[in-house]
Copies of this chain bind each other. A is one copy, B any other.
Amino acid sequence: MRPLFHPALEDIKPDAILYALSDPERVAIFAKLAGTACGGTCSALADLGDRVIPKSSLSNHFKVLRESGLIRSERQGVEMRNQTRCAELDERFPGLVRAILTAYGQLPEQMKTG
Q: Tell me the dominant secondary structure on chain A's binding face.
A: helix
Q: A104 near B: Cβ within 8 Å?
A: yes
The interface residues of chain B lying within 8 Å CB-to-CB of A98 are 95, 99
Cβ < 8 Å to B, chain A residues 74-92: none
Q: Interface segment, A2-10, A14-22, A34-42, A54-62?
A: A14-22
- Report the copy number of this chain in the oligomer: 2
Q: A43 near B: Cβ within 8 Å?
A: no
Partner of A96, one of B17, B93, B103: B103
The interface residues of chain B lying within 8 Å CB-to-CB of A24 are 15
Q: A23 near B: Cβ within 8 Å?
A: yes
Q: A27 near B: Cβ within 8 Å?
A: yes
